[in-house]
Amino acid sequence: MEELRIIRLALLGIGTVGGGVYEILKRQQGEMARKLGVTVEVAKILVHNKNKKRDGIDASLLTDNWKEILEDDSIQIVVEVMGGIEPARTCILEALRAGKHVVTANKDLLADYGRELLDTAREHNCDLLFEAAVAGGIPIIRPLKQCLAGNHMTEILGIVNGTTNYILTKMTAEGMEYREALAKATELGYAEADPAADVEGYDAGRKMAIMASIAFHSRVTFSDVYTEGITGITSADIAYARELGCVIKLLGVASNTEEGIEVGVYPMLISTSHPLASVNDVFNAVFVHGDAVDDAMFMGRGAGALPTGSAVVGDIFDIARNIRAGATGRIHCTCYKELPIKAVGDMRHKYFLRLWAEDKPGVLSSIASVFGSNGVSIAQMIQRNKRGDLAELVFITDRVQGRHFQDSLTILEGLSVIKEIASVLRVHSA
Amino acid sequence: MEELRIIRLALLGIGTVGGGVYEILKRQQGEMARKLGVTVEVAKILVHNKNKKRDGIDASLLTDNWKEILEDDSIQIVVEVMGGIEPARTCILEALRAGKHVVTANKDLLADYGRELLDTAREHNCDLLFEAAVAGGIPIIRPLKQCLAGNHMTEILGIVNGTTNYILTKMTAEGMEYREALAKATELGYAEADPAADVEGYDAGRKMAIMASIAFHSRVTFSDVYTEGITGITSADIAYARELGCVIKLLGVASNTEEGIEVGVYPMLISTSHPLASVNDVFNAVFVHGDAVDDAMFMGRGAGALPTGSAVVGDIFDIARNIRAGATGRIHCTCYKELPIKAVGDMRHKYFLRLWAEDKPGVLSSIASVFGSNGVSIAQMIQRNKRGDLAELVFITDRVQGRHFQDSLTILEGLSVIKEIASVLRVHSA
């Protein structure tokens, strides 16, 4: 039998995710050799401050000197769990150029610099794995790249931000308003002090860029992703959604159409019968459609030390198996197409529009004529609430090009009988 | 750049799944080379009758002579989609011994002869992949073996038989009785002429044996799996389940406990708030729990030419990548433990018991005393329906060892005041 070998790795950072990785590797110590044929051990941990007290971490592993890791040829794997663009980007590039394999959980970096990093990995025949960068512990990158490789993938729908899913769940289940639900999320540590990256959909947008690149075999960067957040959602919208048999979720939507890739993140009405509708609290889920597999969904925890650590360690173990088999660089970047990205105005969606208008004859017909002259057809309308001499009107359109809907909206906003455009949301249609 | 290479494969069988694989490979022809670095082509198809007309299949590929494939050294991958034990087992063993890699969708074979097949693959450093053998198109084997490899997995819950899930969905959603729902499933081609393998839980049991082996790193065969079917479920049970906030699903349950592996397939009451409860119709889903990832769920189509073909082609592509990287046999069997299998009597579950007893004073106390003297405690009781001088009683127990519940049941059956034990079901408890 082959001799037992040890593979040494360095952790760059030992925060939440790094701590999770360290803990999991410790738990796996006993059976790693039988599982992988090799043992993986943490050789060094890069930190800012070596003297900070860290419970449960072997202090002799700490270093504040990146060169000490980079120049140590016995370290074959670098695990980047610092987050942020720099110095993470430089460290990863230098590690790859030094022939080290890299695991990263850094979605910000991948969504903007994925091509550069993956090209560098290929040049040096190194592995660069990043299962943890999308939807935390949920296996989704490897399923897309390998299990579903025989598919022409046409759609990805994702609830890929736990903070916003928690907020919307609280608003839906307990009738909270946005501010109250955000406060609750902050109190529980689900939302950061500056929640913009979550609530504006940027975090979800980065994950969608990464998944769309892999599923559609064409590079999508964060700047290609149109994002809208959830800060304008009110309990009134949620109540109307319920009446329409829907819930509101912050969905990442990526479609591989004949005319190019559509990718965006928006709060959307989605039917309660859709499997994503019952993915609640901080859980994440990714729903995909391919020409062979049809519909499939992957659900789990999108964040947290151990769930995210689970994905990182899965990648570490995969690299260890590659090293052992002499097969690193076995699967490189698979973005071999250059598909166009559709502008948001060219994307087709159903829309939900809630507005307050003067409650008098002729108003409805003015609105209808604006829609009609812009090629927007109305699938459903609800009129019920009044406030003084104003009536609340809710319209659900058929699928329409974004620019046509936007044109209607611009004209509606200029009509003197319309007092307030209260909400504009998209509606998921199968 | 590396030169373009062609990898030749043989299909053993061209039925539903084989036809799906053939179709998917045809669709992928255009981009396979860019995706994998190699092109995979179908070189031969083994059939019983070469002269049968098969639409869309290149007749020049057909052969009824296995030796022609076995002895063709240019064929590197054999895809076994015949089903059944023989000649599938012999063909796979001979192919592996000849140094060919094998993909199979054959759960019957793997659940009984997995060890022999995997040992043979290891001896000859060949790949033997079988993603399609469990839950059709849903990626689950590779996620368990690779993505979640850093976990100590403790539980797998699976809805892994589409036929029975369809029947139970019809019974739940439309109030059908079992016979009617089975007839509907047969009419739609979901149930076979002899539905025993599905409705008695054998098919699900085989899939649970395969998944438990992989997740718990210890060989579980079909004979280790206790199975109960759904033929005794009535609309009365379903109505009570609803009243208790549950639905009835045929669940495969595998638990990795301190005392050994528990594995069984039973119709179970499961809370409507559990993600598996809303997996309906022919959809399959696998819910797993690991110490790091926490809960995760994988959902999709468990059968059908293209979904199952999707999983087979994912395996073929993975082998092609291994061949190209010189890394076949990269991941072998990971059953490196020998954990005991718990007897059904030692497993602990909550139970649902529905019975008809004489409607007179003292009956309830006799029943309660039988439970009490066998250490079975009652969590909930419903008494509502009457039929002549009989009353229908429903009990939900706390978690109890199977043998203690069974002992109570044996005594209850002997009590003259009890006229009928109408149903005994298990209740999923988190």
Q: Which residue, A213, A58, A190, A75, is CA-closest to A136?
A: A190
A55-110 pLDDT per residue, tens: 999 999 999 999 999 999 999 999 999 999 999 999 999 999 999 999 999 999 99
Kindly determine whether residue B292 and residue A301, on different chains, have CB atoms separated by under 8 Å: no
3-state secondary structure of A1: coil
Vertex B122: Cα angle to B119 and B125 (nearest 5): 155
Q: Which amino acid is at A282?
A: V
Query: Could you tell me the CA-to-CA distances from B136 to B186, B204, B301 in Å, in that order?
Result: 19, 12, 6
Name residues whose C-beta falls within 8 Å of residue A329's C-beta, 6 or more positions apart in sequence.
A121, A122, A125, A126, A127, A322, B325
- Helix B202-216 to helix B107-123 angle (10° resolution) is 30
A219-245 pLDDT per residue, tens: 999 999 999 999 999 999 999 999 999
Fold of A141-301: Dihydrodipicolinate Reductase; domain 2 (3.30.360)
Q: What is the pLDDT of residue B67?
A: 98
A1 — pLDDT class (breaks 50, 70, 90): very low
Residue A3 has pLDDT above 60, yes or no: no
A184-203 pLDDT per residue, tens: 999 999 998 899 999 999 99
- Compute the average pLDDT of residues A171-183: 97
B116-160 pLDDT per residue, tens: 999 999 999 999 999 999 999 999 999 999 999 999 999 999 999
What tokens appear for A287 in the block? 């729903």
Q: Which amino acid is at A265?
A: V
User: For A217-260, where are the alpha helices, taking DSSP H only?
Assistant: 235-243
CB atoms within 10 A of CB B238: 22
ipTM of this model? 0.95
Q: Give the single-character DSSP code of A418.
A: E
Contact A275, A297 (CB under 8 A): yes
CB atoms within 10 A of CB A429: 15
Q: What is the pLDDT of residue B3?
A: 55
CATH number of A5-137+305-325: 3.40.50.720
Q: Decide: residue B13, CB within 10 A, 0-12 exposed, 13-18 middle, 19+ buried.
A: buried
Distance from the B333 Cα atom to the nearest Cα atom in chain A, whole angstroms: 9
Q: What is the pLDDT of residue A95?
A: 98
What gap in Å lies between CA A50 and CA B14, rounded to an integer? 63
What tokens appear for B315 in the block? 């395996």
What tokens appear for B297 in the block? 């769920």
The CATH label, of 3.50.50.60, 3.40.50.300, 3.30.70.260, 3.30.70.100, for the domain at B345-427 is: 3.30.70.260
Partners of residue A30 in chain B, C-beta under 8 Å: none
Provide φ and ψ at B37, rounded to 5°.
85, -5
Q: pTM for this structure?
A: 0.96
Question: Which residues of B are marked as active site?
Answer: 207
- Compute the average pLDDT of residues A394-406: 96
Kindly determine whether residue A321 and residue B330, on different chains, have CB atoms separated by under 8 Å: yes
Count Cβ–Cβ pairs < 8 Å, chain A vs chain B: 199
Name residues whose C-beta falls within 8 Å of residue B165's C-beta, 6 or more positions apart in sequence.
B159, B249, B250, B279, B280, B281, B282, B283, B284
What tokens appear for B372 in the block? 């009490």
Minimum Cα–Cα distance from B145: chain A residue: A314
Kindly determine whether residue B321 and residue A330, on different chains, have CB atoms separated by under 8 Å: yes
Provide φ and ψ at A284, rounded to 5°.
-110, 160
Q: What is the pLDDT of residue A430?
A: 74
Distance from the A384 Cα atom to the nearest Cα atom in chain B, whole angstroms: 32
Query: Could you tell me the CA-to-CA distances from A161 to A135, A178, A216, A380, A430 in Å, in that order?
Result: 8, 16, 21, 30, 22
Partners of residue A326 in chain B, C-beta under 8 Å: 326-327
User: For A196-304, where are the alpha helices, taking DSSP H only?
Assistant: 196-199, 202-216, 235-243
- CB neighbour burial string for B240-276, b if at least 16 within 10 angstroms, e if fewer: bbeebebbbbbbbbbbbeeebbbbbbbbbbbbeebbb
Kindly determine whether residue A139 and residue B310, on different chains, have CB atoms separated by under 8 Å: no
Kindly determine whether residue A150 and residue B326, on different chains, have CB atoms separated by under 8 Å: no
- CB neighbour burial string for B17-30, b if at least 16 within 10 angstroms, e if fewer: bbbbbbbbbebbee
**Structural domain spans, chain B:** 5-137+305-325, 153-300, 345-427
Partners of residue A27 in chain B, C-beta under 8 Å: 152, 291-292
- As beta bridge partners, residue B46 has B12, B63
Q: What is the pLDDT of residue B5?
A: 87
Which of A150, A299, A314 has its CB closest to that of B147? A314
Q: Give me the residues of chain B with pLDDT under 50, please.
A: 1-2, 4
Q: What is the pLDDT of residue B1?
A: 41
Q: Does the N-terminal peptide bond of residue B361 adopt cis geometry, omega within 30 degrees of 0?
A: no
* Average pLDDT of the residues of chain A: 95
Which of B150, B304, B334 has its CB closest to that of A310? B150
Q: Which residue, B62, B142, B126, is CA-closest to B92?
A: B126
Q: Which amino acid is at B205?
A: G
Kindly determine whether residue A292 and residue B313, on different chains, have CB atoms separated by under 8 Å: yes
Please say whether the structural domain B153-300 has been given the CATH code 3.30.360.10.
yes
Q: Which of A44, A170, A207, A342 is catalytic?
A: A207
3-state secondary structure of A169: helix
Alpha carbon A90 to chain centroid, angstroms: 24
Q: What is the pLDDT of residue A272?
A: 93
Q: What is the largest CA-CA distance in chain B?
A: 87
What gap in Å lies between CA B263 and CA B254, rounded to an integer? 4
Query: Which of B29, B310, B321, B322 to substitute to test the interface with A, most A CBs within 10 Å?
Result: B310
What gap in Å lies between CA A200 and CA A164, rounded to an integer? 9
Residue A370 has pLDDT above 90, yes or no: yes
Partners of residue A306 in chain B, C-beta under 8 Å: 291-294
Distance from the B225 Cα atom to the nearest Cα atom in chain A, whole angstroms: 24
What gap in Å lies between CA A183 and CA A333, rounded to an integer? 40
Q: Which residue, A162, A238, A236, is CA-closest to A195?
A: A162
- Compute the average pLDDT of residues A257-279: 96
Residue matched to tokens 């695991």: A103
Whether A52 sits among the annotated catalytic residues: the reply is no
Partners of residue B169 in chain A, C-beta under 8 Å: none
Contact A167, A185 (CB under 8 A): yes
